[in-house]
């Protein structure tokens, strides 16, 4: 893998989808694949639930599921970045770390990079290419779809060799 694909490139950010219908995007998503993140162990699975609120922002609940079935959740809010067609959101997590260190800059830290027309699959990441998630409405997706979304991430410069793949791993942890 080329070193350039692993480096941050804020001057050349990844492309997002043109727009996201937040009403259709709300609901429960399963984490099919992700880059490692400091707030989630490698052996944990996760779900994300998004709920549109009356302010036009999105309330979120991210739940990590340990191998023994234990769950822990983080809540937060996502605010659409003006002019992004809701494809870029600035996320604020309601936890100690976020309160001490703050949220990322106003460019938004949750970018929808690829979205199935039926809102079954979504590839989301950060502009600096340090975070990436493949989400789906079901806990398992066809291998061909997984490959297509991983290839899209690779083409966008994300370090896909580091992905943690959870496709089908939810069986038994429900």
Q: Which domains does the chain have, with CATH numbers?
A: 12-165 (2.40.128.20)
Q: Which two tokens stand for residue 161?
A: 């060799």
For residue range 114-164, what is the model confidence (pLDDT) as tens digits? 999 999 999 999 999 999 999 999 999 999 999 999 999 999 999 999 999
Q: Which two tokens stand for residue 19?
A: 């727009």
Q: What is the model's pLDDT at position 9?
A: 45
Give backbone dihedrals phi and psi of 98, rounded to 5 degrees, phi first. -65, -35
85: nearest Cα among 15, 17, 12, 10:
17
109 — pLDDT class (breaks 50, 70, 90): confident
CB 69 within 8 A of CB 173: yes
Alpha carbons 168 and 96: distance in angstroms, whole number: 32
Angle at alpha carbon of residue 119, lines to 138 and 92, rounded to 5°:
90
C-beta atoms surrounding 89 within 10 Å: 24
pTM (2 decimals)? 0.86
Q: What is the model's pLDDT at position 172?
A: 66
> Which are the contacts of 48, defined by CB distance < 8 A and separation ≥ 6?
28, 29, 31, 60, 61, 62, 63, 133, 135
Q: What is the model's pLDDT at position 8?
A: 42
Least confident of 2-11, 39-48, 143-152: 2-11
């Amino acid at each position: 893998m080329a070193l350039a694909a692993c480096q941050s490139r804020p001057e050349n950010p990844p492309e997002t989808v043109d727009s996201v219908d937040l009403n259709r995007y709300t609901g429960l998503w399963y984490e099919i694949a992700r880059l490692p993140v400091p707030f989630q162990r490698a052996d944990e699975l996760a779900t994300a639930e998004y709920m549109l609120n009356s302010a036009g922002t999105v309330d979120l609940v991210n739940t990590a599921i340990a191998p023994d079935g234990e769950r822990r959740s983080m809540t937060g809010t996502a605010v659409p970045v003006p002019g992004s067609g809701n494809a870029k959101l600035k996320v604020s997590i309601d936890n100690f770390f976020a309160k001490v260190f703050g949220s990322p800059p106003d460019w938004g830290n949750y970018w929808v990079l690829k979205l199935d027309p039926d809102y079954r699959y979504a590839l989301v990441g950060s502009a600096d290419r340090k975070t990436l998630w493949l989400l789906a409405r079901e806990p398992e997706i066809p291998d061909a779809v997984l490959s297509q979304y991983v290839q899209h991430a690779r083409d966008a410069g994300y370090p896909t060799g580091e992905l943690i793949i959870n496709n089908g791993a939810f069986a038994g942890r429900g």
